[in-house]
Structure 1
C-alpha cells in the first residue's frame, strides 16, 4: 500500500459514501483548497486507490428479485480446467461475483436473476451442462441483512 496522508484517507472515506460530492464541498470537509483537492482525487484515481466511479442500482426496480449463491466443484483442478471454467463465466451478466474458495467447493458464484424459472434456465445452460462441473449446490437469499460496497477504511487506517 502506498502511503496515504491523513487528507487522502479522509477523501477516500468521504468518496466511498458519496462520490457525487462537489469538489468545493469535499475540499471544505478535508480542509484544503479546491485545486489541491482535485489534484489529490485525480492522483488517487491514477494510483488505482479509486478503481471506478459507478452508480449502484436497485435490483428490485428492474425485477431482479432472486439472489442465488452457487457452490461449484470441478471434476479436475488443473490449470486448463480452472481457466476454462473461469473464462466461461466472464461474460454472463447474471454473475455478479465469482470467487475461487477454500472448503468443500471450488467456486462461490453469486447470481442475480428475476425468478426461479430464470435460475433454472441459467443453471441448465451454464452450470449443470458444463462438462467441467462435478457437482453444484445452490443457496438462495431469503432476506438481505447487510449489503455494502464500502471498504473498512477506518480499521485499515487505524493500524
Structure 2
C-alpha cells in the first residue's frame, strides 16, 4: 500500500516535469549536450529513466521481456508520454506482486546471481528518476528556460 502511495507522489512530480517539457521547443528537447550523461538531451534522459524502470521492475522483478527502444524512437514529449504510460501499467503489476509477497527477488547482474527485496528495487528506480530529473531541469536552464519546481512538496 505504501509503495503505491509513494509512486502516486512520484507521478504527481513527474507530471509537473512533463507539463514543463511541453513548453520546451522540440529542437531543444532532443538536442544532445555532451556535458550531460546518457546522451545529454532531455528526451534521452527521460527515455533512460523509463528504461531503468523497464529493466528493474519489468524484467528483473516481474520477469517480463521488455526490449528497450533507442532514444531516436521518441521524437517529442508526446512520444515519451506514451512510453511512460507503459511504465505505469507494469508498475501496477509490481504493486500487486509486492502486496502478495515480501519474498526477495532473485536476479543475475554482471554474471553474479544475487537477490534483493522489492522495496530496495523500488527505492532504486525512484531515486534514479529524481537524479536524472535534476539533470533535465539543469539542462533546460542551460538552454535558457526557467525550470519549474518538481519536488514532491512544492
Q: TM-score if structure 1 supplies the norm length?
A: 0.25
Higher relative contact order (CA 8 A, sep 6+): 2
Q: Which has the larger radius of gyration?
A: 1
Of Structure 1 and Structure 2, which has the larger fraction of its residues in helix?
A: 2
Q: Structure 2 length as normaliser, TM-score?
A: 0.25
Structure having the higher strand fraction is 1
